[in-house]
Amino acid sequence: MANRNTQPCGFVSRKFFSCSLILAIVLVLYCILFWGSTAPLAPINSSLLPNEKAFSLIENQRIPLRDEMGDHLLLNHEISSLNRNQPEEQELKKCDPSKALFKVFMYDMPPEFHFGLLGWVADGKSVWPDIHTKIPPYPGGLNLQHSIEYWLTLDLLSSRLPDRRGPCTAVRVEDSREADVVFVPFFSSLSYNRYSKIEPPEKISRNKMLQQKLVSYLAAQEEWKRSNGMDHIIMAHHPNSMLFARTSLWHCMFILADFGRYIPYVANVEKDVIAPYKHVIKTFVNDTSTYDDRPTLLYFQGAIYRKDGGKIRQELFYLLRNEKDVHFAFGSVRVNGINKASQGMHSSKFCLNIAGDTPSSNRLFDAIASHCVPVIISDEIELPFEDVLDYSEFCVFVSASDAVKKGFLMKLIRGISREEWTRMWRKLKEVEDYFEFQYPSRKDDAVQMIWQAVARKVPAIRLKVHKSRRFSRFKSGR
């Protein structure tokens, strides 16, 4: 080794080159490990270090760990159920704000941006409803798919209630200077779903008006000016939400369904968080079905699209329509169709998730709630929490180009053994809670998983904000 390293630089043999490449990789790996293990010990005032707690994610075994058997992954709730002598005790314990992973400052924005969109009228005392007495309901049906804005806001609102139960990954603080991130409570998906039509005599829709107002509101805030919005969280789960404001606010962290309708600098996997859809299919409670109990081999029900990525739905329809044991039907799952679709998915072994007019859809989360092994044909899909979840353990991925080859898909699906299917089915039952939205939120449900995903980005946000300040403190002139 030493000899090779002391060779003169001009003398680059192939061997030397690959050797130094390996050395470099080892060095980088070593640095990463070394840095990871020492960062929390760095002599920095710990109140400056949200990352210390983010690192403890790993110590707390939030990241799935391999068990002794080798091929079975232990997930959080399994680990906690292993340790849990008094079931639910952990769950019901009061939230301890000092144990939260990070602190959030939430703007007290006028109700027209949030609960006002649900028809709630403020009583003049607060811009927020008194969630102790009555929580304004979110509209049902397909609106619910994008309701993350509602669940996250409720979780923050309740995080300081004296009798708050359950976990608090994120805790609200009154002083923005204490906060790690700033939360913008705009219900942008609901605004898009409900108020996109122009109502004369208005010249623009309420949805567009609210977005314009939001941009001016934020630009006027001290918190926004301090970081240029880099530490702000804006929810835009519906792919068409925030259409008018997104390019003005692109420094922020978005919470999104996918990046399909975004240009890369506005939204990307480095700075943003992908959140699940709320499933509309009923959860399969007490599912004891076996491979043979589910008569349909492959299930798809969805809208038909003729443009962009959606063309593949049509091609697959022609390929699969005459296959035995396959249910392939067009027509979106409307509210009255939900029962039928629940039944269909609960009695199918595999459920197709094909790119529509956007790479993501709620169908994946419907399949997970049904324990119907998802078959994902969507090359551009982004999956929630993929840094801690290995989807290949409970989903089958097929590239679009393979899927449209004659016979390819059915050969693949029929080739998956009963044992393999059962393994994936069992895994689905283990992970399903990660995709469950509810209030009050429970340990490691979708709300807490989203907050944990945000927490993992806090150190990177901090780095960006600090960097941006290098030259700003002592500006010459003015």
For ligand NAG, the binding residues (CB under 6 A) are 45-47, 285-286
Smaller CB distance to ligand NAG: residue 312 or 368?
A: 368
Q: What is the residue-wise DSSP string for 99-147?
A: G-SEEEEE----GGGTGGGGT----SS-SS--TTT-PPPPP-GGGGGGT
Check: CB of residue 268 under 8 Å from CB of residue 246: no
Check: CB of residue 416 under 8 Å from CB of residue 442: no
Q: How far is the CB of 295 from ligand NAG (least distance, A)?
A: 21
Q: How far is the CB of 5 from ligand NAG (least distance, A)?
A: 43
Distances from the Cα of 293 to the Cα of 23, 285, 296, 360, 421, angstroms: 54, 15, 9, 29, 13
The partner residues of 352 in beta bridges, in order of sequence, read: 375
Smaller CB distance to ligand NAG: residue 53 or 164?
A: 53
Q: How far is the CB of 292 from ligand NAG (least distance, A)?
A: 21
Q: How far is the CB of 175 from ligand NAG (least distance, A)?
A: 12
Smaller CB distance to ligand NAG: residue 25 or 44?
A: 44
Smaller CB distance to ligand NAG: residue 45 or 83?
A: 45
Name the DSSP class of 215: H
Smaller CB distance to ligand NAG: residue 339 or 399?
A: 339
Smaller CB distance to ligand NAG: residue 46 or 126?
A: 46
Distances from the Cα of 371 to the Cα of 22, 282, 348, 433, angstroms: 43, 11, 9, 12
Q: How far is the CB of 439 from ligand NAG (least distance, A)?
A: 21
Tokens of 394: 């409970």
Phi, psi of 176 (to 5 degrees): -65, -20
Smaller CB distance to ligand NAG: residue 405 or 466?
A: 466
Q: How far is the CB of 202 from ligand NAG (least distance, A)?
A: 47
Smaller CB distance to ligand NAG: residue 133 or 286?
A: 286
Tokens of 198: 């122009």
Q: How far is the CB of 436 from ligand NAG (least distance, A)?
A: 15
Q: How many CB atoms lie within 10 A of CB 201?
A: 5
Q: How far is the CB of 45 from ligand NAG (least distance, A)?
A: 4
Q: How far is the CB of 229 from ligand NAG (least distance, A)?
A: 25
Query: Which residue carries 């630009």 as its tokens?
Result: 219
Cα separation of 60 and 258, whole Å?
A: 29
Q: How many CB atoms lie within 10 A of CB 254?
A: 26
Q: How far is the CB of 346 from ligand NAG (least distance, A)?
A: 12
Smaller CB distance to ligand NAG: residue 116 or 459?
A: 459
Radius of gyration for the alpha carbons in the chain, expressed in angstroms and rounded: 25
With CA atoms as reference, report the closest residue to 101 among 439, 456, 437. 456
Which H helix or E strand runs over 170? strand 170-172
Smaller CB distance to ligand NAG: residue 83 or 286?
A: 286
Q: How far is the CB of 39 from ligand NAG (least distance, A)?
A: 16
Cα separation of 85 and 296, whole Å?
A: 40
What is the phi-psi region of residue 477: left when phi exceeds 0, alpha when psi lies from -120 to 50, beta otherwise? left
Name the DSSP class of 279: P
Tokens of 305: 């699209």
Cis amide bond preceding 201, omega within 30: yes
Smaller CB distance to ligand NAG: residue 6 or 47?
A: 47
Q: How many CB atoms lie within 10 A of CB 198?
A: 14
Check: CB of residue 50 under 8 Å from CB of residue 462: yes
Cα separation of 398 and 354, whole Å?
A: 10
Distance of CA 32 to the CA centre of its chain: 26
Q: How far is the CB of 405 from ligand NAG (least distance, A)?
A: 42
Smaller CB distance to ligand NAG: residue 178 or 308?
A: 178
